Structure 1
Amino acid sequence: MAQSATLPANVAGLTPLPVAYSETETHILYARAHSGSKKANAKGKDAEFPEGRTLFLVNVPPDATEREIIQFFKSSGTVERVVFDSDSMQPDDELGDASESESGDENAHGDAADGEEPEDEERPRKKRKTQRSAAPQIIPLPSPPLRTLRRTGRTAHVIFLDSSSLARALAPPSKPRPWPVDASAPHGLAHYAALHAALRPPLDAVRAHADSWMAHFEWVQAQARQASKYRRGEAVVDADGFTLVTRGGAYGKTLGGGVAVASKRFQEEQSGRRARKNKKEKKEKDAFYAFQIHEKKRKEIIDLKQKWEEDKAKVEKLKQSRKFKPY
């Protein structure tokens, strides 16, 4: 926005800091000393934003980088680090847990690859000596340094090395200070041109990245199979040379896979299923053709006539014996 003639010394407890983008355009930053809250103290935020040397900024430019903010406050003192509000939304402990889990998985794969058995393993297994292979490295796609575009009106915390630097940063400037542009990251239209090129890497780079990623995935799957308690298709043999067999559900299986022994209940279920299937197929074949349907109907009519004749003979026999009383 255009620079106004005079700026107030304080706006809602914030000190205006004019920034000169050009000779005619000025941007206003609003700053104050950071003060912790009870909620922040309970979560341990004081260690992240120490009071007395942390500057709270409002209306940070959406394309500002950490290096530009450090250069802007270089005249006030040495800046230890800059934390944007969008970067602090994800807690650090989650990242730590993820890294620990990844390292734990790698250790588990490494122990399995060395052929060592876990202590809590109940059933014996054959020890196999294998050499631990290094994980294939994933070739990353080319990624040029780009700016992180944030929403307008974002905030940031600037942590200085001492409290005197914070006091100098909050002093109202006599005139707008120029905004330092980071030359390492494209600015303006060059940023979008670099982003367009980064989203369309060359095919050779994409092929190398895909091949390295698949090689790493296959390596992880191989390590997982080696780390599994029982390997599929490999039976577990005890010290006397006998194959260990156990009953599991409808099947009896050897430990680790291999040949399975069907149980009696499973065999009975299979035989009953086959008998029902054969009966159904036979029933469908009896009335499959048209002549079969006609023969079936003709036989039903003949059977009805024969039964009627038999019933008629029974009635005549009852009449002769004078035992028939129709009314």
Structure 2
Amino acid sequence: MVARRRKRVVRDPEAGVPSPPGYYAIPIKFSEKQHASHYLYAREHSVRGGAPSAWPQKRTLFVLNVPPYCTEECLSRLLSPCGTVQSVELQEKPDLAESSKESKSKFFHPKPISGFQVAYVVFQKPSGVLAALTLKGPLLVSTESHPVKSGIHKWISDYADSMTDPEALRIEVDTFMEAYDQKIAAEEEKAKQEEGVPDEEGWVKVTRRGRRPGLPRTEAASLRVLERERRKRARKELLSFYAWQHREAKMEHLAQLRKKFEEDKQRIELMRAQRKFRPY
């Protein structure tokens, strides 16, 4: 058998803490009562091959193994002695595709992450990243001046935060719709300018001006469409409009009932004739 090659683990010579290759271990504790330390693994964020990145180079710290009780505010407070923290963003997993970040909504967002996370910490100066990589700790997440809620207090706080403010929601929706309308208007204006202009090979682009992508139907609109179709079919068919049509329909129904009655009588007689047990 071929022995499996074990992944090389770097050990901090001063603290004796194992860490992944290229990462530095930063010890933290939830509070002073906690004896064991939890370790964050950090390194300077970099992109291979000089690809464009959504995070500023030389000023972004990439952090692994962030516990669930460590929020963005806590992480910013723990790293603030290293320098001014510009922004902190927690994610479930690292960004595989480097792309521009869209602003997150306070109301329309996926489920909160319940497990360990990764973090991107952006400092105002590159010296903040270098200082963060030399932290010794242990750093305290919950202190008397900045307590972190846990247990039932955290559940109550999460429930209170889940209540939506109608006015704030209306403002965010209006802002989004204004930006969306401006985007559609800019696309239509661009399509108008490009229409009728031949390209390098002499082809002329044909567009549909004034048409917007269709919105999904609501339940009331779907019911109205179904009602219109039903009325249209009723007008086309006009069944049993005259009195003689009623009489013919009734007579045909009676004839079918009589025919079925005679067939049932013949079937019963046949079953009696084939019966072997005769009690009388």
For the aligned pair, the TM-score class normalised by the smaller chain equals: 0.3 to 0.5
How does the TM-score come out when normalised to structure 2?
Answer: 0.47
| Structure of larger gyration radius | 1
Higher RCO (C-alpha under 8 Å, 6+ residues apart)? 1
How does the TM-score come out when normalised to structure 1?
Answer: 0.41
